[in-house]
Amino acid sequence: MRRLPSSRSLRSKPAPQPGAARTAPRAGDARRAEVREPIDVKIYADAPGTAARQVFTDLFVAAWLAFWIWLAVKLYDLVLKLQVPGQKLAGAGDGMAGGLSDAGGKVDKVPGVGGSLSSPFNSAADAARSMADAGRQEIQVAHDLAWALALLLLLGPVLVVLLVWLPMRVRWIRRATSAVGLREGTAGRDLLALRALATQPLRRLAAIDPDPVGAWRSGDESTVEALARLELRRLGVRLRPR
C-alpha cells in the first residue's frame, strides 16, 4: 500500500522564490557543459583589425628585442678587444719567463759558481711571470667588463618586455580565452552581458535598450546577446550564432 507524504514533510519543502528561475542551473546548459569540447587558448582576436594589430605588435617587439641583443653582442665584441694588450703581455711574459728559466737552469750546472750565476736569471724569470700574470688579469677584467656592459645594455629592453608588454599580452589571452568559453552557453552569455552592464559606457548600453538592466533581469534574449556581443567586441572576439 502506497504511503502518503505526511504534513510535516510537505511543510518542510521550501516554496519556490520568484527570481529562482533565472539563477537556477538549466538542464540544457548542464548537458551542453558536459559535452563541450576543450577550449583552445585564444592567441589572436577574431576581428581582422585587432588581430592585425596584435600580430604587428608581436613582430615589432620580437624585432626590437632582437635588435638590442645584436647591439649587445656587438658591444661585447668591441669591449673584448681590450684583451689584446693583455694577451700580448701574457704571451711575452710567459716567453721571457721560459727563456730565463732555461738559461738559469743551464748556468746552475756550472760547478762552483752556478748557484750565484743562476740567481739573476731566476729573479728575472719571476719578474716575467709577474708580467704574464698581469696580462692575464687584464684579459679577465676585459672579459668581465664586456659581459657587464652587454647585460646592462640588455637590461632595459628586457625589463620593458617582461614588465610591460608580456603582462598585457598574457592578460588579453586569459580574458579572451575565458570569453570564448563563456560565449557558447546561455549562462556564459548572461555573465558576459552582466560584465558589459558593469564596464561599458552608458551611451552604448542605452543604444541597446532604454532599460538594459531591466531587460537583462527579465531574460530578454536579444538584449542579452547584444550586451554579450558588446563585451566580446571589446576583446576582438565574435559572438557565434546559436
Return the domain boundaries, the chain: 42-159, 183-242
C-alpha cell at 167: 603582462
- On the question of pLDDT at 66 being above 90, the answer is yes
- On the question of pLDDT at 220 being above 60, the answer is yes
102: pLDDT confidence band, cut at 50, 70 and 90? Answer: low
- On the question of pLDDT at 202 being above 50, the answer is yes
- What does the pLDDT average to over 153-162? 94
C-alpha span between 154 and 124 (Å, rounded) = 45
125-156: b (≥16 Cβ within 10 Å) or e:
beebbebbeebbebbeebbeebeeebeebbee
- On the question of pLDDT at 76 being above 80, the answer is yes
- What does the pLDDT average to over 187-211? 84
C-alpha cell at 113: 759558481
Contact predicate 13/205, CB 8 Å: no
Where is pLDDT greater, at 240 or 36? 240
The secondary structure of 146-182 as a DSSP string is HHHHHHHHHHHHHHHIIIIIHHHHHHHHHHHHHHHHH
- On the question of pLDDT at 107 being above 60, the answer is no
Average pLDDT of the chain is 77
C-alpha span between 145 and 216 (Å, rounded) = 65
Residue listed under C-alpha cell 538542464: 27
Residue 59: its pLDDT value, please?
A: 96
Nearest-5° angle of CA 6, CA 11, CA 13? 105
C-alpha cell at 96: 721571457
3-state secondary structure of 232: helix
Residue ranges of alpha helices (H) inside the chain are 7-12, 20-23, 27-35, 48-80, 83-108, 114-160, 166-182, 186-199, 202-208, 212-218, 221-235
Residue 20: its pLDDT value, please?
A: 40
Stated pTM of the model: 0.65
Closest CA relative to residue 183, chosen from 47, 54, 51, 36: 36
Residue 214: its pLDDT value, please?
A: 85
Closest CA relative to residue 190, chosen from 215, 161, 170: 215
C-alpha span between 38 and 111 (Å, rounded) = 93
Residue 164, CA distances (Å) to 132, 157, 159, 212, 233 in order: 48, 10, 8, 36, 23
16: pLDDT confidence band, cut at 50, 70 and 90? Answer: very low
Residue 116: its pLDDT value, please?
A: 61
- On the question of pLDDT at 207 being above 70, the answer is yes
Nearest-5° angle of CA 229, CA 51, CA 67? 150
225: pLDDT confidence band, cut at 50, 70 and 90? Answer: confident
pLDDT over 70, % of the chain: 71
Phi, psi values for residue 146, rounded to 5°: -60, -45
C-alpha cell at 54: 596584435
C-alpha cell at 216: 537583462
